[in-house]
Chains A and B, each alone.
Chain A
Amino acid sequence: MLLILGLPLAAAAICLRAPLAAVRAVTAATGVACFGFVLALVPAAAHGDLGYLRLLRVDAVSAVFLLATGFLYGAIAVYSIGYMSGGHGGERGSRHARRFWVGLNLFAWSMLVAPMMSNLALLWVAVEVTTVVSALLVAIEDSDGAAEAAWKYVLLASAGLGLALLATIFAYYAGAQVLGQSYDLGFTQLLAVAGRLPHAAVQLAFVLAVLGYGTKMGLVPVHTWLPDAHSEAPTPISALLSGSLLAISFYAILRFYQVAAAAVGSTFPRDVLLAFGVASLLLAALYLFGQRDIKRMLAYSSVEHMGILAVGVSFGAPAALAGVLLHVLAHAAAKGNAFMGAGVLVRKLGTKRIAGIRGGLDLLPWSGPLFLAAIFALGAMPPFGLFRSEFEIVAGGLGSGRYAAAAFLIIAVTVAFFGLAASATRMLMPAPRAPAPLPQGADRGPAAAGLAADGQERRPVVRTGATAPPVTRGEPSAWMVVPVAAGVIALLVLGLHPPAELTGLFGRAVALLGGGGAP
């Protein structure tokens, strides 16, 4: 546990001074090692809570989120070696690279720390640290878009976290009524006395927490920063933001849910989450159609999946809760994969515009099919983990009599899948060869003009397809393939046969989440 805390910090410190080659190796080793340590924590967490110094505490729920973050950290650290190798050269380039590596380690550290915190206040502090570090990482690409996205992100997320802080304070107030003035907001203490907490304060705290942390999680009315930040950040950071940062915010909401469900009964918190979840699903599924930017498309897919998580918790049945936790893991792997695959496509073809990406399957012998697999996984096709988790969520919803919501979930997920699959097919299938230059030029002309008019596309667009200088078949870097392949394997394992340790972990986590507040 302490190793997980210490290693990324040490890596970040090393990254400040060491030569870049060493920095790469250290980061990758740290990432993989952290994943190993997290794995080692799983059996222990499945049996009981681990505590340390009253400040750190890992139970089954936090272990799930640690797993998701640890896995992505390892994968991204390896992937980034390939991602950064083709970048800028010279003095500026190396400063840029150094900032990137330091930031990556700090970001991963803050996200690993957050689920280990034993009380709501420190959890808030850790989440706020993830915000400021990731905001700097979003701004690291020196472009207008990145500056704009980072500003919107830091302002919206900070304002949201202001509300979350208010929620924390009201939770303290509620606890202080029972426990006296000087206690430190520990989950266990709060849960132990949950039945006697004043209702109004707990309800207020829960709504504020959903709104506040929901801003960072990307729930719909307050999701607006998310597509910008995801599309403008460097690809490895987008993957971490999407697969891990959103999940951490969801973790914070889950903690408040635990307390609220135990204090005021589970109906009220479930209804709140249902409303936010349904809105997120609906809007994101519709936005998936007609996206022009590959990373924005994946960002909206994240909003959709966060909606699924919220709806899943609102069902409340044990099957649905287990599905939600599995969904967190599978989504981290699948979305990480999709972003990494998208990163390869973008690197290969030099544009983020979906219209500019053609023939991915031909050009990329490995990444093409892997990206396709990731998209299918995101659309919850059968062999992958997300199918199993969404199946469990829907089954749980039907089991607890939420027919309308479950039906809606299925429809929205299907719509979203069509949106994703349509764009992915266009990007991966070969471009029509025959009269290529003319129609493509004609096609691109007005579109490009329109884009320039609304200031969308200021950076140079590398022309691709039949008119461009030939892009040769082959992978940009083996480093960018291996982690994606690992992700697909993880998804298959989660989908076909989750290991017994993991099932035990889920069982315990569900008992923690549902046990206190079963109506």
Chain B
Amino acid sequence: MPASLAATVAAPSALSGSASVIAVGVLLAEFGMFRQALLRDQVRLYAAQSVLISVLAVVVAATRHLPDLYALAVLSFALKAVIVPAVVRRLLRGIGAIGGDPRWSDIAGSHALSVASAVLVAIAVAAFGFFTVAALGIRSPVLPATALSVSMAVILVAFVLMIVRRDVVSQAIGFLSLENGVSLTALVVAAGLPLILELAFLFDLLVAVVVFGLLIRVHHGRAESMSTAELTSLRG
């Protein structure tokens, strides 16, 4: 839908067409995370989403002559598509969630809503984000505004993902893909952001992943499960 919208507004150049397609791909990956039943596949989808964002960074760098973005693309590829998924996978293998005990690798039952209603909610939220941001009239110098709307939809869907899933890994992946959505936004509206700041963001992400991993282990060690359904003792 977003791609066709962009097409009706103006005949898209090769750049804006491919940028929109990639942005929509990111959104589709986000939706894919919704219905994954296996943790391993969810991590794979996250990696694929990160690859798409790195590709978009390369596209922008090539067409807009922003050499900084090449470096950023390489680094974000290395970190988000290789290192972070590897860290998460290693963690999951360490606690037997991959290839081991099906109780822990299968998260199909971790939905708070049924898959269908969750996806419907996500579509509604995504549409809301898409049209609201379009109405704000924020124009990007480097990419079509459609990409911005799509990135907002990605962020909102990531929130829905964190809300409706009840297992620690999905919630962590939800946060990471939220960060992917923010990166997409950054590419659209802030392509010239100095490299040093982008590096600080990426480094920070790495630290956050390590901490998430530690806490997932702590949680798993204590609760003997990935589910957050039991985390209800502190309230009031």
Contacts and interface: CB of A to CB of B under 8 A. Distances in A.
Contacts of A119: 197
A149 B208 contact: no
For this complex, into which size category does the number of interface residues on chain A fall? 35 or more
- Chain B contact surface mostly: helix
Contacts of A49: none
26 contacts: A121-B197, A121-B200, A122-B197, A128-B204, A132-B208, A136-B211, A139-B218, A145-B233, A148-B231, A148-B234, A151-B168, A151-B215, A152-B234, A158-B212, A159-B178, A165-B179, A166-B182, A169-B182, A169-B190, A170-B189, A172-B190, A173-B189, A176-B190, A181-B192, A182-B194, A198-B138
B3 to A, nearest CB: 24
Contacts of B185: 166, 169
Interface of B: 136-138, 140-141, 155, 159, 162, 168, 171-172, 175, 178-179, 182, 185-186, 189-194, 196-197, 200-201, 204, 207-208, 211-212, 214-215, 218-219, 222-223, 228, 231-234, 236
Given A151-B231, A172-B190, 15 more contacts: A121-B193, A125-B201, A139-B215, A145-B233, A147-B223, A152-B234, A154-B212, A154-B215, A159-B162, A162-B179, A169-B189, A200-B138, A204-B138, A227-B236, A228-B234
B30 to A, nearest CB: 14
Contacts of B201: 121, 125, 165
A128 B192 contact: no
Contacts of A165: 179, 182, 201
Contacts, number: 125
B168 A173 contact: no
A162 B233 CA distance: 27
A185 B233 contact: no
Interface in A118-172: 119, 121-122, 125, 128-129, 131-132, 135-136, 139, 144-145, 147-152, 154-155, 158-159, 162, 165-166, 169-170, 172
B177 to A, nearest CB: 10
A144 B234 CA distance: 10
A185 B197 contact: yes
B136 A204 contact: yes
Given A132-B208, A172-B193, A162 B175 contact: yes
Interface string A454-485: 11101000000000000000000000000000
A201 interface: yes
Contacts of B178: 159, 162
A304 interface: no
Contact of B228 (A121, A151, A185, A287): A151
Contacts of A454: 233
Contacts of B192: 176, 180-182
Q: What DSSP secondary structure best describes chain A's contact surface? A: helix
Contacts of B222: 144, 147
B186 A129 contact: no
A296 interface: yes
Contact of B182 (A129, A149, A162): A162
A362 interface: no
A125 B200 contact: yes
Contact of A150 (B207, B215, B228): B215
